Amino acid sequence: MGSSSEIEVVTMGSKTQQQNPTGELPAITDVYSASAYGDFQQLRSFVEHGGASVSLPDGNGYYTLQWASLNNFVDVAQYIIEHGGDVNAADNIHQTALHWAAVRGSIAVADLLLQNGARIEAADVNGYRAVHVAAQYGQTGFLNHIIATYGADYNALDKEGTSPLHWAAYKGFTDTIRLLLFRDACQNRQDNKGYTPLHWAVVRENIEACTLLVHTGTKEELFLKDSAGFTPFQLASDKGHRQLALFLSKAMRTHRNRVVDKIIRGNLGDKGCAPILFCIIVVLMILFTISVIAAPNLPKVTAMVGLWGWISLSFGFCSLIMFYRCSSKDPGYVKRADELDRNHDANDPLMSIDLNSSSWTGNWSQLCPTCKIIRPVRSKHCPTCKRCVEQFDHHCPWISNCVGKRNKRDFLLFVLMGALTSSTSGTIALQRIWTGIPSVKPGETWIRHVAFEHPSVVLFLFFDLVIFIASTMLMISQTYQVARNITTNEMSNSKRYTYLRGPDGRFNNPYNHGWRRNCSDFFINGYTTDDEVVSRIYNTHLDAAK
């Protein structure tokens, strides 16, 4: 596999359909140049007045229909077919007009060709079919169209044993990869070199492609060896791709020992760390009551200290309530295909994507190969929960749940309660110790006195400080994001999401309506409504397509 074996984009003169430096179109001298540049009137003149044929190849063996198909000139292609052009005519390397249409994703011409008898599975001398060519050039829309409409075989193999998924992985076209995985393309198929799509993604150091293939695949692809005996990890190490090697090594460890790895990552089975955090909060509340409020070796509790102690414990109980809510609540799971249609046959692949659906904005990252759905914009598939989550913020192992559209308000209130509880209880503990300074022996430091006389209070203050720092940082970051109507995931991966970039390519958040509206929508509804923005993005995409 390599550039030498791919279909070549043939151009006439300079670049097809490009003007010369003077701004004038290149000279139209025959039916071939007229077809290439879409000059319908000249083509008619050559045929009807000059007696030229549109069914014969030029000196290089290329047909007029191929030139018209390359540049998606439907009217020209229609005229050629009506005047004897053969839709299955092949050049010297057996490429048909459909191959050429696939190079630039000429969907309209492809429809015309196929409706007039073009063979969808026609192969050239390398065994490339239209699906291979579309994958080689990242023509995802074209590939989806011929699969969904004409049943093209997306697992077809060329003479090297490579499938369209191999090619997409090699080229790093993640949108094409996502579509093929959505269609259940085979991930563990090995070509003549023993390479899987993951091997080819590693060879070209396509990190995003590797990430997608690993998260969507099984452990089998990680351990398959090529003809030289290399797994994808060993291949990455051999080629010096350190970042990829580290990622693949971690993925392999995850599959080798899931229990140990989940403990390391803070995910204790399905329950995660939620029980641990719950116990820590309860123990700290008990420790605060026994060691700070009711400690016999500390000064007598005053009315003010008692009031603030009661307030602190109330904050603690509220934090437990919010902890339970954000931990047990549905974060905004998007229904999977089998949940949307209970009568869906699992053996019948989902072959239709409604590109005119209001939920579709032309962003192929909306396809989820695992859940087999077109997920809403701003949602993301969580590999831990194995579900797509609307307005995905992040997966929090400490609550054993994702933070998303339905529970982000609860999560923000939880960290707010945590910050208030830790700050008030810590302040009371320090005040209680400080009032005990008169009991410090001469020559003994206050810190030494506290450490030896009140070890339980020191222990409480240590964990209380940790919780205060963590909850305060989370509260600040979450509040900032709510005010800007952006998620943690979007902030971390803003370069990956096209909807977060303006026409000039710079960061632009279309969901930011100003901090007042953002905050009011969030705290009143629990989430912000995206319908208005999604509709605008969808209409913009349609206008661009036209």
Angle, CA 414 vertex, CA 411 and CA 415 arms, to 5° = 95
> How many Å apart are CA 224 and CA 240, to the nearest integer?
20
**Active-site residue 396, yes or no?**
yes
Contact 389, 402 (CB under 8 A): yes
Number of C-beta neighbours around residue 195 at 10 A: 28
Query: What b/e string do you get for 151-171 counting C-beta neighbours within 10 Å, with b at 16 or more?
Result: ebebebbbeebbbbbbbbbbb
Angle, CA 393 vertex, CA 388 and CA 398 arms, to 5° = 95
> How many Å apart are CA 152 and CA 139, to the nearest integer?
14
AA identity, residue 316: G
End-to-end CA distance of the chain, in Å? 35
Contact 383, 394 (CB under 8 A): no
AA identity, residue 256: R
AA identity, residue 242: R
Q: Given the residues 382, 396, 402, 519, select the one marked as catalytic.
A: 396
Alpha helices in 72-226 (DSSP H): 74-82, 97-103, 107-115, 130-136, 140-150, 164-171, 174-182, 197-203, 207-216, 219-223
Contact 165, 180 (CB under 8 A): yes
DSSP state of 290: I
Number of C-beta neighbours around residue 421 at 10 A: 28
User: What are the distances in angstroms from CA 128 to CA 9, 110, 125, 183, 190?
Assistant: 14, 16, 7, 20, 17
Contacts of 354 by beta carbon, 8 Å cutoff, 6+ apart: 360, 374
Query: CA nearest 487: which of 464, 512, 514, 452?
Result: 512
Token look-up 């409604």 returns 354
User: What tokens were used for 39?
Assistant: 């000059």
Token look-up 């004038």 returns 24
Query: CA nearest 193: which of 228, 158, 218, 166?
Result: 228
Number of C-beta neighbours around residue 346 at 10 A: 8
User: What tokens were used for 357?
Assistant: 């659906």
User: What are the distances in angstroms from CA 187 to CA 121, 164, 369?
Assistant: 21, 11, 12
Is 44 strand, coil or helix?
Answer: helix
The dihedral region occupied by 2, where left means phi > 0, alpha psi between -120 and 50, and beta the remainder, is left
Half-sphere exposure of 278 (CA within 13 A, CB side): 16
Cα dihedral value 335, 340, 344, 350, nearest 10: -70
| Residues tagged active-site | 396
